[in-house]
Structure 1
């Protein structure tokens, strides 16, 4: 039996793991309930596009939000931001049972809560080395990632069933309660807090100056690395993925003959595929990175074309298998960053990568909403599958991308080893 590392039983890591678990329950329900609530209030896929636009816009702005974490103690940032999120979400049932809900109010709240998530995520990534030590960062992250993906499978699938019986608004109340519990839990953190520079608090002008210095430092850190050269590919994938996911609520209702639980099943099947990809990645990391991406995403494209055309059960199965490639790509890229980036820059580099990759998502949301409104929801899913094949052909046609070595040999910060033009 493999011995469990001592850091797993450390007080602060147990608090963080428990918080991730409770957040998994709340976010799983919220992910399903939020989009279905917009669809129910508006009766239009176009508004689902607006909702996804709001959420993805927050993701694209994360590179501006992340440096703000440097201006408060990490514990305070986590506690107060989660408390504000909980209060915001509690207004949805409050208004629903009093003056009534407006679809635009819900969309704006989706945007605001997504902004707070962009603030807390880099903090959680940054405190991990403080809690477990730099030598255990990758292994600790694997624990947390496994919890996130496993809980997503259970809670997102369960969310669809819960919403079918109690409705979308009570389900969002459950999410608010979960976030409130996380707020209380994180108040018990006792790790060493970094000192906030007194210079940063002298005036608004000096604080703004330090903010832009921190922001520029993140850009400069990755400027001459391999990271920016792969952003185009990530933007393309995200645009096509959002075109599909914007239509997924309406698509699942059609496939499930009006049963809202079907949406949860599709989201859970994607989480299952991503988790499988996460688990098998160590067995595949010796394969050349370029070849692995080309083969896996051609497979994803074919499978998701089948998702668009086949009945519910077969559609969900193919959707899940197609998502395996996403888990593989996420873990390989994220792990390489964790290994090669200095601890002080991990939060900023991850944020810059994800926010840059999110730049195309608002556009994809609007395109998806328009497509869903003017055609059947199966069309955007089919387009996403075809786009995955086009993405693979692009990599295949580029000798630099096609010949990328295995992930351990790809040096993100040394272009003398890998030169992608």
Structure 2
């Protein structure tokens, strides 16, 4: 029997796991309820596009927000930011039961809460080595990632059922209550806060200068790397994915004959596919990365085209299987970055890359909203499937990308290290 590592039973790690667990429950419900509420208030897929535009715009701004995590005590940042998010979400039922809700108000709140998420996620990643020690970081990350992926499957699927039983507004109250509980749990942290006293700026001008120095560091690291050559492909994938996810609420209602729970089932199916991809990634990492991407994404495209046309059960199965390639590419690319980038730059580099890759998402959300308003929701799912096949053809036609070796032998930052 495998012995449990001592850090697993450490007080602060248990607090972090508890916070991640409850936050996963709340965010799972919110991810379903928020989009369905927009659809209910507007009656239009076009507004779903505006909602995804707001959320994806916050993702694009992540590189501007992440450095702010270093300018406050980590514990305070987690406690107050989650509590403020809860207060913001409580205004939705307050207005609903009094003056009434406006769809643009809900879309604005989706944007604001997404901004707060861009602030708290880097803090959770940063405090992990403080809590468990650097020697246990890989295993601790594995625990947390398993919890997050498992909860995405269970809670998002469960969210659809909860919303069907109680409605979208009570579901948002549940999310806000979960955030209050997370704030209370995180207030129990007792880890030693790193001393930033010597690094604190003495004036507003020096604070701004510190901020921009931190900001430039991430950009400089990837400026002349292979990553920049791959970003165009990642942007294209994100545009296609957002076109699909913008229409997923309406597509799910169409496939499920109006049953709201089906939306949660489709989101859970995607999470399950991504988790399967994450599990398979160590087994396929020895395959040439170029060929792996080409063949897996051709498969994704074909399966998602099938998901757009087939009946509900077959559609959900193909939707799940098509997401496996997303899980594989996420794990392989970001694991490679974590292995090759100096520890001090990992957070900033990943934030810059994810922000850059998100650049096309606001555009994709507007395109998805237009397509959903003009055509049946299934058309957008078909467009996403076709886009994945086109993406594979692009990699196949590029000799540089097609011939990429296995991920362990790709040196993503050769140029940067040569100049360092």
Counterpart position of 1:18: 18
Counterpart position of 2:335: 335
Deviation at 1:8, TM superposition (A): 2.0
The separation in 1 between residues aligned to 2:345 and 2:142, in whole angstroms, is 19
User: Does the Cα contact within 8 Å between 1:300 and 1:388 map onto a contact in 2?
Assistant: yes
Mapping for residues 21-100 of structure 1, pairs under 5 Å = 21-100=21-100
The separation in 2 between residues aligned to 1:52 and 1:179, in whole angstroms, is 22
Deviation at 1:226, TM superposition (A): 2.5
Alpha-carbon distance change, 24 to 253 in structure 1, aligned in 2, over 3 angstroms: same
The separation in 2 between residues aligned to 1:193 and 1:134, in whole angstroms, is 15
The separation in 1 between residues aligned to 2:4 and 2:197, in whole angstroms, is 38
Mapping for residues 96-111 of structure 1, pairs under 5 Å = 96-111=96-111
Mapping for residues 160-179 of structure 1, pairs under 5 Å = 160-179=160-179
Q: Are 1:120 and 2:120 matched, yes or no?
A: yes
Unmatched tracts of structure 2, length 5 or more: none
Q: Are 1:365 and 2:365 matched, yes or no?
A: yes
203-212 or 152-161: bigger deviation: 203-212
Mapping for residues 16-415 of structure 1, pairs under 5 Å = 16-197=16-197, 200-415=200-415
Deviation at 1:258, TM superposition (A): 0.6
Deviation at 1:201, TM superposition (A): 4.1
SS in 1 for 2:407: coil
SS in 2 for 1:227: helix
Deviation at 1:333, TM superposition (A): 1.4
TM-score normalised by L of structure 1: 0.96
83-92 or 124-133: bigger deviation: 124-133
Deviation at 1:416, TM superposition (A): 10
Counterpart position of 1:9: 9
Deviation at 1:109, TM superposition (A): 0.3
The separation in 1 between residues aligned to 2:224 and 2:298, in whole angstroms, is 30
The separation in 1 between residues aligned to 2:235 and 2:135, in whole angstroms, is 32
Deviation at 1:198, TM superposition (A): 5.5
User: Does the Cα contact within 8 Å between 2:222 and 2:416 map onto a contact in 1?
Assistant: no
SS in 2 for 1:359: helix
Residues 76-119 of structure 1: CA deviation (Å, up to 9, x unaligned): 11111111101101111111111111100000000000000001
The separation in 2 between residues aligned to 1:334 and 1:74, in whole angstroms, is 24
User: Does the Cα contact within 8 Å between 2:275 and 2:324 map onto a contact in 1?
Assistant: yes
Alpha-carbon distance change, 162 to 369 in structure 1, aligned in 2, over 3 angstroms: same
The separation in 1 between residues aligned to 2:277 and 2:377, in whole angstroms, is 27
SS in 1 for 2:300: helix
Residues 146-169 of structure 1: CA deviation (Å, up to 9, x unaligned): 111111111001100100010001
Deviation at 1:192, TM superposition (A): 2.2
The separation in 1 between residues aligned to 2:224 and 2:192, in whole angstroms, is 33
262-271 or 333-342: bigger deviation: 333-342
Unmatched tracts of structure 1, length 5 or more: none
TM-score normalised by L of structure 2: 0.96
183-192 or 235-244: bigger deviation: 183-192
SS in 1 for 2:409: coil
User: Does the Cα contact within 8 Å between 1:277 and 1:326 map onto a contact in 2?
Assistant: yes
Residues 4-24 of structure 1: CA deviation (Å, up to 9, x unaligned): 332222222222111111111
The separation in 2 between residues aligned to 1:120 and 1:263, in whole angstroms, is 27
SS in 1 for 2:408: coil
Structure 1 runs (4+) deviating above 4 angstroms are none
Alpha-carbon distance change, 15 to 313 in structure 1, aligned in 2, over 3 angstroms: same
Deviation at 1:323, TM superposition (A): 0.5
Root-mean-square deviation over aligned CA pairs: 1.6
The separation in 1 between residues aligned to 2:352 and 2:47, in whole angstroms, is 28
